[in-house]
Structure formats: C-alpha cells, structure tokens
Amino acid sequence: MGRESLRLTAEGGLTTQTGGSLSSDPLACLGSCLTLDPDCTLRSFFRCIEAYPDLARLSPFFPSCLEEAARWPSEGCTTPRLRYLELMKRVELIGAPGERSLQIYCLFYAVGEEEAHDVKELAYGEILDQPLQLGPLRHVVFGDSMDSLDFATSYTLFEAVDTIIWHLSFQGAPHKCSL
C-alpha cells in the first residue's frame, strides 16, 4: 500500500484513493503521495496524529507540540494578518565559484497579505485553524531568490509530517537559539 495516494480530511482522517479510511499501518504509507481536503487546517494535522499515534513516533517533538495544541480553544484559532499556512519544497543550485551542490528541502510557513511569516514566531492560537495548503516547488538558482521558478509538485505523507513538526518544534525558542 506504500504508494497509494492518501488524502488528509479536515477531521484528521486519512482516506485512500477509493475514499475508504486508512486501515493499515500508517508507517507503511509514509511514501504515499498526500493531498489535502480544501478545508484542512493545522488542527486537521494534529487530529491526524491523534488518530494515527504511530505517526508521532517520527519525531521526539510530537508530545510537546500536541500538548501545546490541546491548550487552545477548539475553534477560532486564527489571525486576520494571515491567509493560510503552506508547505513548500525548495531546490537550490549552489556553487559558482566553488563546489557545486543541489539542496532540496521542505519549508513550512504562514502566508500573510504581503509577506511570509515564520511559524515559530506565531502562537498556536493564531495558526491552529488557518487553512493548510501544499505549495509549489521553488527552484532558486545560485541563491538568487528574485530569480526563482515555481513548479507543481507532490508531497509524501512523510514530508508533510516531518516538515510541519520540525518547524513547529521551534515555537517559543529564544531568538538567539534560532538557526
């Protein structure tokens, strides 16, 4: 089942291509492509982890992040300064001069009306009910983000889970500890 596409529902469930609920081990599906229902939020992501607790084994940060999410009201955790949260892939070609390399990584950030915001700077009370989207792959050549290209891409269940929890793990970290 590892390659069957999965869909994250607003309620936090994972459904298969045929619309049925995921009944197998979610860890066996980490390589599956993931799509999101249009009404998914960050709270949907946390509900998914609660519904499939084996996914929490992927990161030591899950217990504290789940605990923090549970402290907030069950709805209305948004802020008007944000439009949505986005998972995005980034490819950077580095080199010239020097040894050339290709870096591929995922990012998770909040999109406002005029700028992007690092999620570590936002309280859960501002982001839990913000819409969650899967964004493009952005190709940045030689570090020049002004000269970048966006491409349609896909995400695996693992990429989504790992990236979101990694970025949320920096919540509340002192500024001097930021990378």
Query: Do the Cβ atoms of 132 and 119 come closer than 8 Å?
Result: no
pLDDT score for 7: 95
Kindly list the distances between the CA atom of residue 71 and the CA atoms of 36, 58, 124, 167, in Å, as whole numbers in the listed order.
Answer: 25, 22, 9, 19
- The rounded distance, in Å, linking the Cα atoms of 48 and 37 is 13
pLDDT score for 1: 42
Query: Do the Cβ atoms of 45 and 36 come closer than 8 Å?
Result: no
* Residue showing tokens 């493009």: 136
**What's the token pair of residue 5?**
């596409």
pLDDT band at 109 (very low <50, low <70, confident <90, very high): very high
Q: Looking at residues 82-100, what average pLDDT do you find?
A: 86
pLDDT score for 3: 65
Mean model confidence pLDDT for the chain:
88
Which backbone phi and psi does 80 adopt, to 5 degrees?
-65, -15
Q: What is the pLDDT of residues 114-134, one digit of tens each?
A: 899 999 999 999 999 999 999
Plot region of 98 (φ>0 → left; ψ -120 to 50 → alpha; else → beta): left
Kindly list the distances between the CA atom of residue 118 and the CA atoms of 3, 25, 70, 85, in Å, as whole numbers in the listed order.
Answer: 31, 32, 21, 10
Share of the chain above pLDDT 70, in %: 91
Q: What is the pLDDT of residues 158-179, one digit of tens each?
A: 999 999 999 999 876 544 444 4
